[in-house]
Amino acid sequence: MNILVANWTWYASGGDWTYVENVTSMYRTQGHTVIPFSMHDERNFPSPYSAYFVKNIDYKKLNKKNILEGLRVIQKSISSTEAKENLERLLDHVHIDLAHINVIHHYITPIILKTLKERGIKIIWTLHEYTPICPESTFISHGKICEKCFGGKFYHCITNTCKKGSVAASTVAATENYVNKYLNYYQYVDHYLCPSVFLYEKFKSFNFFPEKLVQLYHGYNYEEIELAKAGTSANTNQITSTDQPPITTKNQLFNDETYIVFVGRLEKIKGVHTLLEAMKSNPGIHLKLIGTGTQEQELKDYAAAHQLSNVTFMGKQNRMETLGIINNAQFLVCPSEWYEVLGFTVVEAMALGKPVIGSAIGAIPEMVISQQTGLLFSPGNAGELAEKIQLLFNDPEAIQAMGETASRHIRQLINSERHFSGLQALIPAL
- CB-based burial of residue 43 (10 Å sphere; 0-12 exposed, 13-18 middle, 19+ buried)? exposed
Q: State the helix-helix crossing angle for 296-305 and 272-279, rounded to 10 degrees.
A: 10
As beta bridge partners, residue 375 has 357
What pLDDT is recorded for position 93?
Answer: 96
Report the CATH superfamily, name and number, of domain 223-413: Glycogen Phosphorylase B; (3.40.50.2000)
Q: Residue 64 gets which letter from DSSP? A: S
- Alpha-carbon distance of 136 to 120, in angstroms, equals 32
User: What does the DSSP assignment read for 71-93?
Assistant: HHHHHHHH--HHHHHHHHHHHHH
CA dihedral (145, 148, 152, 158) positive or negative? negative
Q: Where are the domains of the chain?
A: 2-126+184-219+415-426, 223-413
Return the C-alpha torsion angle 226, 232, 234, 236, nearest 10: 70
pTM score, whole prediction: 0.90
User: What does the DSSP assignment read for 368-401?
Assistant: --BTTTEEEE-TT-HHHHHHHHHHHHT-HHHHHH
E strands in 236-355: 260-263, 287-290, 311-315, 332-334
Print pLDDT tens along the chain (430 aa): 999 999 999 999 888 999 999 999 999 999 999 999 999 999 999 999 999 999 987 655 555 444 454 455 566 678 789 999 999 999 999 999 999 999 999 889 999 999 999 999 999 999 999 999 999 999 999 989 999 999 999 999 999 999 988 888 898 899 999 999 999 999 999 999 999 999 999 999 999 999 999 999 999 999 999 999 888 544 333 323 333 334 433 334 445 579 999 999 999 999 999 999 999 999 999 999 999 999 999 999 999 999 999 999 999 999 999 999 999 999 999 999 999 999 899 999 999 999 999 999 999 999 999 999 999 999 999 999 999 999 999 999 999 999 999 999 999 999 999 999 999 999 998 8
From 306, 245, 315, 254, select the one nearest 285 (Cα to Cα). Answer: 254
Mention the CATH class of domain 2-126+184-219+415-426. alpha beta
What pLDDT is recorded for position 230?
Answer: 87
- Alpha-carbon distance of 398 to 297, in angstroms, equals 35
- Are residues 278 and 389 in contact, defined by beta-carbon separation less than 8 angstroms? yes
As beta bridge partners, residue 289 has 262, 313
Phi, psi of 391 (to 5 degrees): -60, -50
What pLDDT is recorded for position 250?
Answer: 38
Q: Residue 319 gets which letter from DSSP? A: H
Q: How many CB atoms lie within 10 A of CB 209?
A: 15
What pLDDT is recorded for position 71?
Answer: 52
- Are residues 419 and 218 in contact, defined by beta-carbon separation less than 8 angstroms? yes
- Is 223-413 the same fold as 2-126+184-219+415-426? yes
Q: Residue 167 gets which letter from DSSP? A: H
What pLDDT is recorded for position 75?
Answer: 62
